[in-house]
Amino acid sequence: MAQAKPIPDLAARRGYHHGNLREALLEGAKQLVGERGPQAFTLTEAARRAGVSPSAPYRHFKDREEVLAELCRRGFTLFSQRLQAAAGGTSDAAEALRRMGPAYLAFAREEPGYYAAMFSVQSEETAGEAEKGSPFEALTGTIGALLPGGEGLAGRTPRLVAMQVWALSHGVAMLERAGMPAPESGAPAAEAVLEKGVKALLGRM
């Protein structure tokens, strides 16, 4: 098996500034998490990919869990920005929600390292990132705007419906990441599955 190459231009450097080293290690860790999953990477591998010694990560991080926590935090920040940007530019809440589906799937495809770290089992602090004014709150606000005053919720709150929409979105994204169903199976595209699923969910309210 070919050895992973260090991040371009970083392996040859030896006069790191602390900020550059930290970013290089995070980038290496993000690549590894995207390739192997959050439980299968080590700080030693991240250091190797960044082109530094195995002890270098400990100048900036206590352990691998702290690295995952930082990837989680950055991931949710970027994820929230992507969803909010997709939903922006329209005053129609239904249209905003429709635009958020493809943006959700695009993020999972384009940022597999962040996405995997975001949904890995971590501390209570990092688990809370999902609800700190991030994608979950964006979904809650959009769904609340769809049903002002809570009308038609059939006993459910916008927060509960947002959780259901998020669960559906995450499920579709994870199935696609796992290659299921296979493209040759003739199954509809992930975007179509998600759009129809969200419409069905909202239609039952």
Which sequence spans correspond to the domains of the chain? 62-202
Average of per-residue pLDDT across 160-181? 88
Average of per-residue pLDDT across 124-142? 66
pTM: 0.80
The segment with the largest mean pLDDT, out of 13-22, 73-82, 115-124, is: 73-82
- The answer to whether 177 touches 123, Cβ cutoff 8 Å, is no
155 vs 142 pLDDT, higher one: 142
- The answer to whether 79 touches 114, Cβ cutoff 8 Å, is yes
Q: How far is CA 43 from CA 8, 10, 92, 114, 180, in A?
A: 19, 17, 46, 16, 31
Which one, of 145, 166, 135, 139, lies nearest residue 92 by Cα? 145
Count of beta carbons in the 10 Å neighbourhood of residue 189: 12
For residue 1, pLDDT beyond 80? no
Rg of the chain in Å (alpha carbons): 20
- In this structure, whether the domain defined by 62-202 belongs to CATH 3.30.2310.20 is answered with no
Q: Residue 24: which residues within 8 A CB-CB, separation 6 or more?
A: 7, 10, 16, 50, 51, 52
User: What confidence score (pLDDT) does residue 204 get?
Assistant: 54
Q: How far is CA 185 from CA 18, 181, 182, 189, in A?
A: 49, 7, 5, 11
C-alpha angle 99-152-164 in degrees, rounded to nearest 5: 50
Tokens at residue 35, please? 């390739």
Which one, of 67, 75, 139, lies nearest residue 107 by Cα? 75
Choice among 72-81, 99-108, 129-138 with the minimum mean pLDDT: 129-138
Helix (H, G, I), strand (E, B) or coil at 163: helix
